[in-house]
Structure 1
Amino acid sequence: MAETDNAAFEHVREAIQKRSDALWAMNTTIHSHPELGYQETVAHDTITQALEGTGFQVTRHAYGLATSFEAEYGSGGRLVIFCAEYDALPDIGHACGHNLIATSSVTGFLALAAALKAAPNVEGRVRILGTPAEEGGGGKVKLLEAGAFPDDTAAAIMMHPTSAHVLPPHIRGIAGVKFVASLKLRVQFHGRTAHAGGAPWKGRNALDAAVAAYTGVSMLRQQIHPDERIHGVIEEGGASPNVIPAYTRMNYYIRSPTVQRGEELLARVKACFEAAATSTGCTVDYINAPTYKNLRINNTLSNEYAKLMAQQGVTFVPRSEEPFTFSTDMGNVSFSVPSFHGAYGIPGSHGALPHQPDFRLAAELRESFDIALSCAEGMAMLGWRVLTDDAVADGAREDFVSSD
């Protein structure tokens, strides 16, 4: 590293060590108060109070979203944005480790701001952006629409925990991760109510439509590509056995490596819904949710992060060649500005993966927090390199423009 990079690294590490206890308290509070998307009031208030306590002016409820926030440091130069997620899952809480995502992004922001403060002649801006409702709510999609990611953003940065046991021995994580696209919709069947015992022939059973649709989609799964997924639940299925349900609602996710392939698969899935409606005499309509685009890898940013972590003695694979069948609204960001979305392993019971109860337990461990802070050092230094090295910033922009 250049001498200025060495000095920046020392300021980054010092800032993280200085705030470690406060960051642990923030992380623990978020984990112990799991909140669903757009309802993350404890997380919002905890993070914004922590930022204000270190002297930053924070915009609460940013961009018209009640649980978003924004703070920035620096002037002129390029802009780096750290994305913080903090929503949880129904019933199983922080089983996706978003408390660690928030912690690493806040840490990266604070550490890079400290390096900029110590180098007043260096131009550049670093921003922390609260991005609610990643778990299906499309918070980043709404933030994109509201202008939270300007076109000239040099890099948007975040990292996600996963289970250490899925990684090769001695590998901490993957710098550049491929995720697939996800198309989401709620399906509403409308029938006609009737007394199930007295005059069932007068009814049109919307629950039968939902069951037929579920069965049809389940059979369709046999005929799809291995890198595609279809999964859904019945959210409303009726209220009483002796009343034929006039209304049911299902919620489905359709995942495929690209949005184009996802739309092709969605057309096949909708054929199952339409057939179910026809066969039961019901009607069907849809409530669409934001589409999550596939996550694109920026080679310059991923390679740079792997190099920076190697200087700490930590090994990251620069990129994944095959996509993981997960999805994120960070994929949409990666189509709008140069983006970095890495993954790192945390300890936990063998077999535990995100969205399982055991992963929630892994996400609250002090060791997992320490790993998140170690990765945040690299995130801060990646931001520093983007702000101060033209070759890195230009390479990231070129990769963004040319990425498929």
Structure 2
Amino acid sequence: MKESEIIENVRSALAKHEARLSEINQKIWSNPELSFEEHNAHDNICALFDALAADGYTVKRSAYGINTAFEISYTNGQGGRTIAFNAEYDSLPGMGHACGHNLIATSSIASFLAATETMRALYPNTPYTTRLLGTPAEEGGGGKLLLIDAGAYKDVHACFMVHPFPALTGSPNLLSASSDSAQYLANNKVEVTFTGKPAHASAAPWEGVNALDAVVAAYVNISMLRQQILPTQKIHGVVLRGGERPNVIPASTTVEYYIRAETVKSLTPLTERVVKCFEAAATATGCTVEYKWEPSYMDMVDNRPICEGYMIAMNEMGYSTIYDAAGQEGGLSGGSTDMGNVSYEVPGFHGSFYIHTDGVNHTPQFTAGAGSEESFQRSLYCAAGMAVVGCRVLGDDEFAAAVKADFDSKV
């Protein structure tokens, strides 16, 4: 099937559903919910597809044993290939959708609808499955890791999503960029607790073992370590608990740190160096130290045929798109995502697109930009590109083989 026919059908489907998509986008943006608490987003998205049940969509609420995850699918015939679209919809504490997950969810919903309806129109005799996965807790908790463990991706031949970023200063009108692995770093997250001994801070400080001193020592150790690591590696943290009152020697303190590196392989030795900073602080102050590790996010493995196919489709539709955004002036890098873990399981695409905001991700200004009509429209443009490539994975044996070969060569 010619790509021009796919594009025509994809655009038609998006136009047909635009009002529904706009409504769901605003519902998610206007009602931000934290990780694993995204009950309204879960219910509203599922309700949207309940209304489309006559078109053959199957809705599974609280899928894979996760309360705020869902799986919506469409199957044509027996066998064939499966594509999936990841919808994220958790927000950040105190600032709403400051990473634009409302737009991520909207673009994936839109692309799922457009790919399904295009396949139904152009490939009626081809067996296939399209799937929309609701993936909670990307900002903390690793919802996709739980879905991986539960088997949500075991039969998937390609998985898609896009992520918004602030418009590039050098190219403010650039719409989108294909997935680039250098943008998304492997990430270890750890909560560290130092335990000392309380005492009266004025009358008998020598009786105490100061756990806050351990925090300060660890912070200084890590600050010095930063001079000796690669520019692409990142270490950053906050003090969660530093003590109770100034006149009591703090007996227990807690910090939380993120450790990021280019790949899972390079993350391991960097993490070991950071742990030595904590251990040294504990030894110097006489405290004990305990670690609580969160699920690790892996680096993003890009898939060149998918990336190039997306770029070609977007440019054919008139949307200015490049392959690699990491080196562009004003481009952001250094973030992490649990989509990286998915990309180690199946061929993955985590594209970037750009919206006009007065601030970068994780700021109130970005929250405001993520709720604009222009940002919504840009999410639909990217949905079209993903849908076109998704149809190629399902309907083009040669393209699907190239996608698999590229994945097999990297993982």
TM-score range, shorter chain: over 0.9
Is residue 149 of structure 2 the alignment partner of residue 145 of structure 1?
yes
Is residue 74 of structure 2 the alignment partner of residue 89 of structure 1?
no
Aligned match for 1:23, one of 2, 15, 21: 21
What residue in structure 2 maps to residue 252 of structure 1?
Answer: 257
- 3-state DSSP of counterpart to 1:165: coil
Contact 1:72 1:127 in 2 (8 A): yes
What residue in structure 2 maps to residue 37 of structure 1?
Answer: 35
- The two structures, once aligned, show a CA RMSD in angstroms of 1.6
In 2: Cα distance, 1:240 partner to 1:66 partner: 39
Aligned match for 1:403, one of 382, 385, 410: 410
Q: CA deviation at 1:122?
A: 2.3
Structure 2 residue runs of 5 or longer lacking an equivalent are: none
In 2: Cα distance, 1:58 partner to 1:304 partner: 30
Is residue 245 of structure 2 the alignment partner of residue 240 of structure 1?
yes
What residue in structure 1 maps to residue 370 of structure 2?
Answer: 363
Matches within 5 A, 1:350-389: 352-389=359-396
In 2: Cα distance, 1:309 partner to 1:167 partner: 20
In 1: Cα distance, 2:320 partner to 2:26 partner: 27
What residue in structure 1 maps to residue 287 of structure 2?
Answer: 282
What residue in structure 2 maps to residue 134 of structure 1?
Answer: 138
Contact 1:297 1:319 in 2 (8 A): no
Tell me the amino acid that sits aligned with residue 64 of structure 1.
G
Is residue 126 of structure 2 the alignment partner of residue 117 of structure 1?
no
Per-residue CA deviations over 1:206-248 (Å, capped at 9, x if unaligned) read: 1221121112111211111111110000111222222222211
Out of 321-330 and 385-394, give the one that drifted further. 321-330
Contact 1:74 1:116 in 2 (8 A): no
Matches within 5 A, 1:253-272: 253-272=258-277
Q: CA deviation at 1:259?
A: 1.3
In 1: Cα distance, 2:303 partner to 2:309 partner: 10
Tell me the amino acid that sits aligned with residue 328 of structure 1.
T
Structure 1 residue runs of 5 or longer lacking an equivalent are: none
Out of 195-204 and 230-239, give the one that drifted further. 195-204
Aligned match for 1:159, one of 162, 170, 192: 162
In 2: Cα distance, 1:95 partner to 1:162 partner: 10
In 2: Cα distance, 1:290 partner to 1:375 partner: 29
In 2: Cα distance, 1:167 partner to 1:42 partner: 38
Per-residue CA deviations over 1:135-181 (Å, capped at 9, x if unaligned) read: 1321111111111111x421000000111124635532211222111
What residue in structure 1 maps to residue 105 of structure 2?
Answer: 102
What residue in structure 1 maps to residue 349 of structure 2?
Answer: 340
Contact 2:186 2:260 in 1 (8 A): yes
In 2: Cα distance, 1:207 partner to 1:30 partner: 40
Tell me the amino acid that sits aligned with residue 252 of structure 2.
Y
What residue in structure 1 maps to residue 333 of structure 2?
Answer: 324
Aligned match for 1:197, one of 194, 202, 208: 202
CA change 1:269–1:292 in 2 (3 A) is: same
Contact 2:168 2:174 in 1 (8 A): no
Out of 360-369 and 85-94, give the one that drifted further. 85-94
Q: CA deviation at 1:355?
A: 1.3
- 3-state DSSP of counterpart to 1:255: strand
Out of 9-18 and 218-227, give the one that drifted further. 9-18
In 1: Cα distance, 2:398 partner to 2:324 partner: 20
In 1: Cα distance, 2:236 partner to 2:294 partner: 15
Q: CA deviation at 1:321?
A: 6.4
Per-residue CA deviations over 1:371-391 (Å, capped at 9, x if unaligned) read: 101110111111111000011
Matches within 5 A, 1:176-195: 176-178=179-181, 179-195=184-200
Q: CA deviation at 1:339?
A: 0.6
Per-residue CA deviations over 1:57-84 (Å, capped at 9, x if unaligned) read: 3111111111110010023310000001
In 2: Cα distance, 1:105 partner to 1:217 partner: 39
Contact 1:181 1:294 in 2 (8 A): yes
What residue in structure 2 maps to residue 70 of structure 1?
Answer: 71
Contact 1:30 1:43 in 2 (8 A): yes
Aligned length in residues: 399
In 1: Cα distance, 2:5 partner to 2:273 partner: 56
- 3-state DSSP of counterpart to 1:304: helix
Per-residue CA deviations over 1:279-300 (Å, capped at 9, x if unaligned) read: 1111001001111111011000
